[in-house]
Amino acid sequence: MRVLAAGDHFVRNSLIAEALRRDLPDAALDLTELTLPWPLEPFGPVGEVEEASDAEDALIAALDGVEVCVTQMAPFTERVLDAAPALRMIAVCRSWPVNVNVAAAEARGIRVVCAPGRNAAATAEFTLGLMLSALRRIPEAHNSLTAKGHWDGSSYTYEQSGTELEDASVGVIGYGAVGSRVARVLGAFGSTVDIYDPYVRGDVHGMRAPSLEAMLRRCRVITLHARLTPETRGMIGAHELSLMPRGSVLVNTARGGLVDTEALCDALDSGRLAAAALDVYEEEPPRPGSRLFSTPNLVLTPHVGGASREVARKAAAFIATQIRAYALRAL
């Protein structure tokens, strides 16, 4: 079986190769490699797919005679698929194969698999880190001590002090693999947790909010974990922000398109929000001179919530099991 490992600088080809050889020790693997430039070069739309490395030509050349491709960022557009007649399986090391034209692949009899939940723990932990950073003003304290080189006593004044998660009302929007973990950990902090997810049934770690508006009116911290769909795009805009109690905090580690950036900056400038923390943006990376860089009380990180070494290893291992199942069926 000829396999292409089209890894990058996060899910490295060495991790893919190690996982494949561990799960398919007796298979006759002809493994070749292509290293894509992400994350040293940002992903973006390529052809008709949403998030991929701009590497169609290199991928086409590497796919010659390949039956299975393992990747995270390779752009499987119709153009690429047309040039890979031997391809039978695309294994994507991501929660969702947004770098693949899935309909076009399936129309050609190509199986597409992915690794749902592979970064759930990492993103949940990072969410709590951003939440604490925004609530307790940790970046400001760090910058005042290191960049300014002096001990700023004003951080201990009542006006500048942050707030705790214990007894705080926290709203979790989206109760999937990440949101459910965040809710569970918030419970351990002693927060009062509200859950809003109209698609989830059964028990949850917290109380179900009767509506999004009810949650926004009640909770002083909101954390977003919904998928980006036509229905959820811009779900937090000027109206929704106006419903939140004055001095609230918003955290987004899901998708940038869930939040209206201009409305968020307005809410921070006006003091409606005390702080916000973002790991994702409507446009990635934000343009130089973006209002985000000059808005006060805003913690920004460059879409690294799911970046842990464990995530890369988990993704490679999960995909290897999928390829092993495919190989067994092919025997």
Cβ neighbours of residue 180 closer than 8 Å, sequence gap 6 or more: 204, 205
Residue 325's CB is within 10 A of a number of other CB atoms, namely 12
CA 60 to chain centre: 28
| Six token digits for residue 193 | 């947790």
- Let me know if 287 is a catalytic residue: no
Residue 190's CB is within 10 A of a number of other CB atoms, namely 11
Q: What b/e string do you get for 118-157 counting C-beta neighbours within 10 Å, with b at 16 or more?
A: bbbbbbbebbbbbbbbbbbbebbbeebeeeeeeeeeeeee
Looking at 94, 225, 255, 272, which residue is catalytic? 255
In the chain, the amino acid numbered 146 is T
- Let me know if 137 is a catalytic residue: no
| Six token digits for residue 127 | 């969410």
Cβ neighbours of residue 323 closer than 8 Å, sequence gap 6 or more: 3, 20, 23, 24, 68, 70, 89, 91
- DSSP per-residue letters across 9-55: SSS-HHHHHHHHHHH-TTS--EEEE----TTTS--EEETTEEEE-S-
Closest CA to 140 of 304, 302, 299, 301: 299
- Let me know if 283 is a catalytic residue: no
Looking at 284, 291, 313, 324, which residue is catalytic? 284
Burial of 281 (0-12, 13-18, 19+ CB in 10 A): buried
Q: How far apart are CA 108 and CA 79, in angstroms?
A: 13
* β-bridge partners, 273: 248
Residues designated as active site: 255, 284, 303
